[in-house]
Amino acid sequence: MTVETTEDLKLSNAQIAWRAAQDIRDGAYVNLGIGFPEMVARYQPPGRQAIFHTENGILDFGEPPAEGEEDWDLINAGKKAVTLKPGAAFFHHADSFAMVRGGHLDVAILGAYQVAQNGDLANWRVGSKGVPAVGGAMDLVHGAKQVFVITEHVTKDGKPKLVEACTFPLTGVGCITRVYTSLAVIDIVDGRFVLREKLPGLSFEDLQAKTGAKLHTDGPVADLVAPEL
C-alpha cells in the first residue's frame, strides 16, 4: 500500500500551464515570458486562438520550425527560431513596447521567484552577485490588462513563494493580478491573496501552511482539476 503525502500532491508544470491557458479567451493578445510561460501556448482550448506577441517585434508567431529549417532573422524573445501564422506582423522595438506599456496586451504571463500579497513581483535576480540581466520583464508587468504568474507554490527547499513582502529585488510594484501555482489559483485583490481554486485533496490549512501570507476567501473555493498531460 502506498500512502500519498501532500508532497506528492501537486500539478506538474504542464498542468499549471494548462490551467492558465483555460483563462485566455479567443482572440486575446498575449505575451508569454521566456521559459516555463511559453508552455501555455500548447494548451489553448480547442476553438480558441490567441495572438502571441514577442518583444523583439512579431505578432502572431507560431511553432518552432523543423530542425534545419530555421531562419535566424525570425526568432522570439528567447532567441529561439519561430514560424509565422497567416496574419502575422513585424514592427520595431519601440512599437513593440508601446503595445506592452500602452495597455494593448490583454494578458502577460510570467514566472516568479516571489509574489507578494500586494501584487509585487520578484522574478529577475535573487541577489547582487554575478551579471544582472533584466530584459523586458520590468516592462511586461506594466500595461497588460491582466498580469498572471505561473509558478510552483513553494521553492525546491519548501519555502513559500507567495509572501507578505518580497525579499528578492523587485521586478514591479503591485503589478500581478492572478497566480496559478502547483496547488492553487489565487487572485490578488486589494492587497490580499484571495483563494479561488485549490487541489481537492489539499485542506485549506495545509495550503495556508505552504503560503507565506494569509489566504483569504471570498465566496466558494472551487476544485483545481487539470487533465493528465
Partner 1 sequence: MDKTIASAAEAVAGIGDGATVMIGGFGGSGAPIELIHALIDKGPKDLTVINNNAGNGRIGIAAMIDAGLVKKMICSFPRSSDPRAFTEAYLAGKVELELVPQGTLAERIRAGGAGIPAFYTPTGYGTELAEGKVIAEFDGRAYVQERWLKADFAIVKAHVGDIHGNLTYNKAARNFNPLMCMAAAKTIAQVSKIVPLGGIDPEHVVTPSIFVDGVVEIANPQQEEVLIRSGAVYA
C-alpha cell, 88: 502575422
Answer yes or no: 55 catalytic. yes
**Binds partner 1 by CB under 8 A, chosen from 42, 93, 159, 214:** 93
- As a whole number of angstroms, the longest Cα–Cα distance in the chain is 60
Q: Which of residues 179-218 bind partner 1 (CB under 8 A)?
A: none
Given the rule CB under 8 A, which of 3-11, 13-21, 35-43, 171-179 is the region that contacts partner 1?
171-179
9 touching partner 1, by CB under 8 A: no
CB of 228 to partner 1, least distance (A): 33
Q: Helix, strand or coil for residue 40?
A: helix
94 touching partner 1, by CB under 8 A: yes
**Binds partner 1 by CB under 8 A, chosen from 7, 8, 73, 157:** 73
CB of 137 to partner 1, least distance (A): 8
145 touching partner 1, by CB under 8 A: no
* Burial class (CB within 10 angstroms; exposed 0-12, middle 13-18, buried 19+) of 193: buried
Residues in the chain: 229
Q: How far apart are CA 211 and CA 207, in angstroms?
A: 6
**Binds partner 1 by CB under 8 A, chosen from 58, 105, 107, 199:** 58
The nearer residue to partner 1, 69 or 205, going by C-beta atoms, is 69
CB of 23 to partner 1, least distance (A): 24
- For residue 20, how far is the Cα from the chain centroid? 8
62 touching partner 1, by CB under 8 A: no
For 170, which DSSP code? P
The string over 99-138, giving b where at least 16 C-beta atoms fall within 10 Å of a residue's C-beta and e elsewhere, is bbeeeebbbbbbbbbbbbbbbbbbbbbeeeeeeeeeebbe
Binding site for partner 1 (CB under 8 A): 54-58, 70-75, 79, 90-94, 96-97, 100-101, 120, 130-139, 142-143, 169-173
Catalytic residue annotation: 55
